[in-house]
Copies of this chain bind each other. A is one copy, B any other.
Amino acid sequence: MWGHTALSVLELAGIFVFAISGALTAIQKGFDAVGILVLAEVTALGGGVLRDLVIGATPPAAFQHLGYLLVPLAAAAVAFVAHPVVERLAFTVLLFDAAGLALFCVTGTLIAYAHGLGSVQSAVLGVVTGVGGGLLRDVIARQTPALVRVDTDLYAIPAMAGAAAVALAHHTAIPVPVYAPLAAALIFAFRLTAMLRHWK
């Protein structure tokens, strides 16, 4: 069984933590309440919207189910009220962020493939889904994108490895419900190790 409910819960959890990271960035930059909300929404939904525009799936998922818009709103409120607590939970946030990256990247690759893209192109779009929101966050917040900085731990590389694994698995007889969670686990474990060992 694919476990659609479990997937949706995980996806909303990923959206939540991406939104938290956007909201915290806005707070650090001294933005106002609107800025916190904008950065929460853009960080959480930007990657998926880019993916859906590229594959021509309009309106994007973010504009179809209300949860996609409301979860970042809730995350912005949590970050606004409780950011000293949230910042102390920095590692927990990074853990969830790694889970969000893993999930977005794998589902993004699968969705692109289901829309007829080639397997390499699907993998690239999966990575875009995973890292696009954070890139837009950094552009709006006027900071050098974490994605391209030398001093940040590996982020895109684990995403690329996992998306490549999914792309390879497309050509095998392994069923999606087997390789998709494995690829997500690969991204999560790789990213976690990169964080703990400070791989650059």
How far does the Cβ of A90 sit from chain B's closest Cβ, in whole Å? 22
B200 touches A117 (CB 8 A): no
The answer, yes or no, to whether A183 is at the interface (CB within 8 Å) is: no
Cα distance A76–B121 in the bound complex, in angstroms: 18
A54 touches B60 (CB 8 A): yes
CB-CB under 8 A for A63 and B117, given A56-B58, A58-B54: yes
> Which of B39, B148, B156 is close to A148, meaning CB atoms less than 8 Å apart?
B39
Q: Which chain B residues border A69 with CB–CB below 8 Å?
A: 120-121, 124
- Report the contact-size class of chain A (Cβ under 8 Å from the partner): 35 or more
Binary contact track A105-126/B, C-beta < 8 Å → 1, others 0: 0000000000111101100110
Binary contact track A68-107/B, C-beta < 8 Å → 1, others 0: 0100000000000000000000000000000000000000
Q: Which of the segments A2-10, A11-19, A137-145, A173-181 contacts the partner chain?
A: A137-145
How far does the Cβ of A1 sit from chain B's closest Cβ, in whole Å? 29
Cα distance A60–B58 in the bound complex, in angstroms: 13
Q: Which chain B residues border A145 with CB–CB below 8 Å?
A: 35, 140
How far does the Cβ of A117 sit from chain B's closest Cβ, in whole Å? 6
The answer, yes or no, to whether A49 is at the interface (CB within 8 Å) is: yes
CB-CB nearest 4 A-B residue pairs: A35-B148, A56-B58, A31-B148, A34-B156
Taking Cβ atoms with an 8 Å cutoff, the residues of A that contact B are: 26, 29-32, 34-35, 38-39, 49, 53-56, 58-60, 63-64, 66, 69, 115-118, 120-121, 124-125, 135, 139-140, 142, 144-145, 147-150, 152, 155-157, 200
